[in-house]
Amino acid sequence: MLLAPPPDVKESQRPYHISVSMNCFTPSSYITIVRKSSWDGELVGDFEIGAANARNPGTLCLRGNEYPISELLESQLNVFRTTWLWKVKSFGPEKTMSLFWDDYQGGGVLTCYSSQDRNSANMLAKFTPRSHLRRQGQPIEPPKVLVTPVGHDLFDDILMSALVIERIRTAPS
């Protein structure tokens, strides 16, 4: 998959190249690799997640360090919303940062905020999955990631956390 800005955006991030492959030693586990600029460009990170009841927990490698996904991501299921807390591991021990995701809008839309106070001033990003089936003669509606200017410095974490959450959220139970 290629994550690129719309053609009319002149100043933007380099495109991200996202590939998924099966772990040949654990066929129920899949590895997602994210690179910048090209298929063999700069490595952003990778993660591996298997079946929900797998013996090995999922792991994520970002900025050269690997972590169990359970160390980075906490989820809380409520009646009308699920929330996720993504702990950013790039600022060193003296400065911590978290991303707060929720699916309150419904329709599979995930929204990312910089604090638990989820309002438009704190919004960093929004992921909107494809919502319509493909039809002959109609344009394909690709999934969309909208990142606000405030979220640009956290783009790698926003992208990786959105991919992990969506993989967990849409995995068969």
Structural domain total, the chain: 1
What are the tens digits of pLDDT across the range 41-65? 999 999 999 876 666 679 999 989 9
Is the pTM higher than 0.85? The answer reads: yes
pLDDT value of residue 44: 94
Residues 87-111: tens digit of each pLDDT? 988 656 656 789 999 998 888 899 9
Residue pLDDT, tens place only, 106-141: 888 999 999 988 888 899 999 999 888 889 998 888
The parent domain of residue 59 ranges over: 2-170
**89 and 74 in contact (C-beta within 8 Å)?**
no
Q: Is the pLDDT of residue 22 over 90?
A: yes
d(CA 113, CA 63): 22
3-state helix, strand and coil shares in percent for the chain, rounded to the nearest 5? 15, 40, 45
Look up residue 162 and give its two tokens: 């959105």
